Structure 1
Amino acid sequence: MLGSLFSSHKVRTSESLKGVILQSVSSPLSEDFIGFGPFNLNTQKRWKKPVVTARTRLEDRTRDLRLDKLMSQLKRLKMIIKLQELMLNRRGPYVSLQLLSRWKNIVGLNVGPGVFVQKYPHIFQIFKHPLNRSLCCKVTPKMLNLIEDEAKVIKESELLAVQCLKKLLMMSTRGMLHIHALRLIRRELGLPEDFRDSILLKYPDDFRLVDLETVALVSRNENLAVAEVEKWREKEYKEKWLSEFETRYAFQINFPTGFKIEKGFREKLKNWQRLPYLKPYEKKDVIRVNTCGGVERFEKRAVGILHELLSLTIEKMVEVERLAHFRRDFGMEINIRELLLEHPGIFYISTKGNTETVFLREAYCKGCLIDPNPIYTVRRKMLDLLLLGCRNTRKLQPQNEMKDGHNNMVCNAVGEGPIDGDWVIPILECVDDKKDGGDPHDTNNTCEKDLNEL
């Protein structure tokens, strides 16, 4: 009797222990986790399959160090340009460092603006105010000349900007674009700040405003309906004597250094290069997956549109978030970020500067644009001033002269523009004339004459 009770208790204990082991194995994240041992060697454990998303692809992509370095430099240049715009919008030619500290969050600086501007003496000049002796800052003449040159070059390139806008409207499905989307990439396209009034309203034969935020194309120009990739295909066909079957729908591929080519990748890429698709400037009433001939052809059409859009920009790069504003107008109902990550030989996404920026890989070599344009050349000179930092400052005004506090030197540092206290200078000149041996009785008359002239 006792033996049977003991055996039944032993069976229950073993069954309960077995249930605990199986429960712990089936849920490895539970608190009572028991590792594999001699009692559960034959128990199968299932591992979750890793999820592949756009975020994981972005983290696992092959990095291009030169483009990442360029993007980090351009981030600082954007901060400087934003700071300059705030400074130049003021009445006078200079602002105090106390006022600069209020713009820290607007510009997006992690350090104080006073510390930031001291790092770039070729762009900002710091001096003491002649009256309240507070530190002030202004833009150097070199940088002001480059800002004027950029505005001048943009104005001279007005016809090219008109062609660029016409091409964008020709790529759209309905021949219309939202002005808000164009305003977001205004600087990338080389458009003036008031392009709505200075370009869209100036050329009524080319553009028509449907409403305040929509522009439509008046007439198509088939001479402009040639994509940049088609010019490259013609060049490859003539110079390298490749077959038309290989180059008719191909794109220029340029993988970053260290890119790992997996098994079967070359064959997939070769088939994708031969895949026909609806080109960006080909007109069709409705753009859908079925009408384009499948998902792959639909995606390849989106690749062609993004490639042409980046080719029309000044620096061949655009922020990924701003590209999303063109999805509906261009008929690209697809995840743009995932599409860009699937083609690392054509596009590269850089995450430097707290933003995701896509580069056209074929347009860059060693971190510089292969075919520069006048606007890019001026902006590159601005970047060169930034990269100088505190080097080559011998040509600038020595720091000890800036700290003397003489009124004449300070007024020269302030530059053009009236300031309170200019009457102090002629009084000092009267005192100097008296010391030099002039007639002391004529001092008051001279001072009164100078004051009347002021």
Structure 2
Amino acid sequence: MTAKVVKISSLVNKLNLLDDLSLRRAWYKQSSSLWWSQNRLMTSSKRVQDRSKNKRIRPLEIAAEKWKIFSKMKFLMEILRKEPEMVIPVRSLDQYRKQINLPKPHKMSDFIRKSPKLFELCKDKNGLLWCGMTEEAEDLLEEEERLLEEHSDKAAEYVTRCLMMSVDKRLPLAKIAHFRRDFGLPLDFRTTWVHKYPELFRVVKCKEDPELEYLELVTWNPKWAITELEKKVLGVTEAGPDHTPEMLSLPFPLKFPPEYKKVYRYGGKIEHFQKRAYLSPYADARELKAGSLEFDKRAIAVMHELLSFTLEKRLVTDHLTHYRREFVMPQKLMRLLLKHFGIFYVSERGKRFSVFLTEGYEDSELIEKRPLVLWREKVLSLSGYRGRKKKIQSFSDLSELSDMENKDPLEDDSESVNTSIQFEQAETIESLEDASFADDDEMEVGEVCSAYKDTNAS
């Protein structure tokens, strides 16, 4: 009898244990499901790819690829320009693989040999492989310096207008540096250029952090307190001397791809949005309530204005999000860009997304091509090569530079010059990192051109 009681007691304990385990499994499953659903709502279901995969505009994807190829070429040219005699050992370029987006085992030399009209390879007597620029590439860099100088006044206007749009009438210098290439600012932007226009802006240090520098507005120019959209509608180049920014009711130009069939479904909402008045980007927006319709539409006007300033009518989305506080824009800026698909287009190519101003493009070509854009297209036309690999020549005079291989390329007798070069190189690397794209998405220059022809033919 005692043995039966023990067996029954043991069985009950086992059943209790099983019930406990089943309850734990059920609780764990329920908790995991709840955690997964919450995180899914915040992440995967809101991914840009999920929300825009059916809205891709192939011509603008081709344009994104085109500017990516240019950025790689320009990055290598900038590195070479800072080297003694403008040559560098190829193995020293391995440190820039991330910026060029050249994963191993791909060879740096093979990447360089794809553009023989821009870059040259040669060996010294010790067999060390060196990279340099062709005379044509060096002439292009001189041409760029001249164009940047000619564009300097216009770039100063754009920077000033950014300061005028900001809530405190000043912006961190480091953040403006993100727009250097997009606005056509020179390499010496931080060190020299910002001091060339004392009547427009000045550099000030942050009281809390002396190492943090700001660019601050000096004089408000009412003639510049007018949006690019207003200029087009009114047919003027600038506002009058007594112009005051106020409420606007101008509709934004919309451009949808022909194959996008869902526009008619949202016709009423689009029309209602276009008719809604909004505050000028140059007016004080402190009193606007975040999340309101007026707040969001003004944010769209600010983004439209910033993209209008750029050479390529395109910006990396990360750069826009950096300005949320200064320009009084919503936290979920990407969602707003995707929602207004006819005004903006978000390209998914690469590690960072780019946003295009759709009205600035006709297929994959910019409608308005400034001299600096034409220069970039000239560089792009010399990129790429599909012929046979040429034999690398050997030069004995390069052996004299072999001793400099391990020397810091930024060393200089003058401390000020050294600091300037470091700033310039940091800005160049930082801005060109933004153009890195996933290697498996790459297209050659020839493929870009052929794709563009196919698009036109269709």
For the criterion TM > 0.5, the same-fold answer is yes
Q: Measure the CA separation in 1 of the matches of 2:322 and 2:156.
A: 20
Secondary structure of the corresponding residue to residue 324 of structure 2: helix
Query: What TM-score, normalized to structure 1?
Result: 0.70
User: 1:132 — aligned with what?
Assistant: 126
Aligned partner of 1:114 among 87, 90, 109? 109
Change (3 A) 1:61 1:150: farther
Aligned partner of 2:363 among 363, 366, 378? 366
- Superposed, 1:400-419 pairs within 5 Å as 403=393
Change (3 A) 1:227 1:54: farther
Secondary structure of the corresponding residue to residue 216 of structure 2: strand
Structure with bigger RCO (C-alpha 8 Å, 6+ apart): 2
Q: Measure the CA separation in 1 of the matches of 2:263 and 2:128.
A: 63
Cα deviation, 1:251-310, whole Å, max 9, x if unaligned, reads: 0000123213266400100000000110112235x24217xxx71111110000000000
How far did residue 61 of structure 1 move?
4.2
Q: Measure the CA separation in 2 of the matches of 1:183 and 1:251.
A: 28
Q: Measure the CA separation in 1 of the matches of 2:199 and 2:264.
A: 54
Change (3 A) 1:197 1:101: closer
1:145 counterpart letter in structure 2: D
- The unaligned stretches of length 5 or more in structure 1 are 1-22, 31-46, 236-246, 422-454
- Superposed, 1:173-322 pairs within 5 Å as 173-211=167-205, 212-234=212-234, 248-261=249-262, 264-284=265-285, 286-289=286-289, 295-322=292-319
Cα deviation, 1:300-334, whole Å, max 9, x if unaligned, reads: 10000000000011111110011111111111133
Change (3 A) 1:282 1:105: closer
2:303 counterpart letter in structure 1: L
Cα deviation, 1:219-274, whole Å, max 9, x if unaligned, reads: 21111112111133336xxxxxxxxxxx9320000012321326640010000000
How far did residue 80 of structure 1 move?
2.4
1:383 maps onto 2:376 in alignment: no
Identity level (%): 29
Cα deviation, 1:7-53, whole Å, max 9, x if unaligned, reads: xxxxxxxxxxxxxxxx9xx99x99xxxxxxxxxxxxxxxx99x9552
Aligned partner of 2:160 among 142, 166, 176? 166
Query: Would you say the 8 A contact 1:54–1:337 is kept in 2?
Result: no
Q: Measure the CA separation in 2 of the matches of 1:420 and 1:179.
A: 38
Aligned partner of 1:147 among 122, 133, 141? 141
Q: Measure the CA separation in 2 of the matches of 1:125 and 1:390.
A: 16
User: 2:58 — aligned with what?
Assistant: 65
- The unaligned stretches of length 5 or more in structure 2 are 1-22, 31-36, 206-211, 236-247, 404-458
Query: What TM-score, normalized to structure 2?
Result: 0.69
Stretch deviating more after TM superposition (272-281 or 80-89): 80-89
Change (3 A) 1:134 1:180: closer
Secondary structure of the corresponding residue to residue 349 of structure 1: strand
Q: Which contiguous aligned blocks of 4+ residues in structure 1 show a shift greater than 4 angstroms?
A: 417-421
Query: Would you say the 8 A contact 1:72–1:353 is kept in 2?
Result: no
Secondary structure of the corresponding residue to residue 359 of structure 1: strand
Secondary structure of the corresponding residue to residue 187 of structure 1: helix
Q: Measure the CA separation in 1 of the matches of 2:136 and 2:295.
A: 49
Q: Report how many aligned residue pairs link the two structures.
A: 349
Secondary structure of the corresponding residue to residue 355 of structure 2: strand
Secondary structure of the corresponding residue to residue 294 of structure 2: helix
Change (3 A) 1:287 1:326: farther
Q: Measure the CA separation in 2 of the matches of 1:267 and 1:114.
A: 56
User: 2:69 — aligned with what?
Assistant: 76
Q: Measure the CA separation in 1 of the matches of 2:169 and 2:134.
A: 44
Q: Measure the CA separation in 1 of the matches of 2:287 and 2:259.
A: 37
Change (3 A) 1:303 1:102: closer
How far did residue 95 of structure 1 move?
2.3
- Superposed, 1:421-436 pairs within 5 Å as none
User: 2:332 — aligned with what?
Assistant: 335
1:317 counterpart letter in structure 2: R
Change (3 A) 1:221 1:420: closer
Q: Measure the CA separation in 2 of the matches of 1:262 and 1:94.
A: 54
How far did residue 56 of structure 1 move?
5.5
Secondary structure of the corresponding residue to residue 375 of structure 1: helix
Change (3 A) 1:54 1:225: farther
Secondary structure of the corresponding residue to residue 382 of structure 2: helix
Q: Measure the CA separation in 1 of the matches of 2:82 and 2:372.
A: 23
Cα deviation, 1:402-445, whole Å, max 9, x if unaligned, reads: 65x5x6xx76xx7xx97689xxxxxxxxxxxxxxxxxxxxxxxx
Stretch deviating more after TM superposition (296-305 or 327-336): 327-336
Query: Would you say the 8 A contact 2:344–2:357 is kept in 1?
Result: yes
Change (3 A) 1:197 1:128: closer
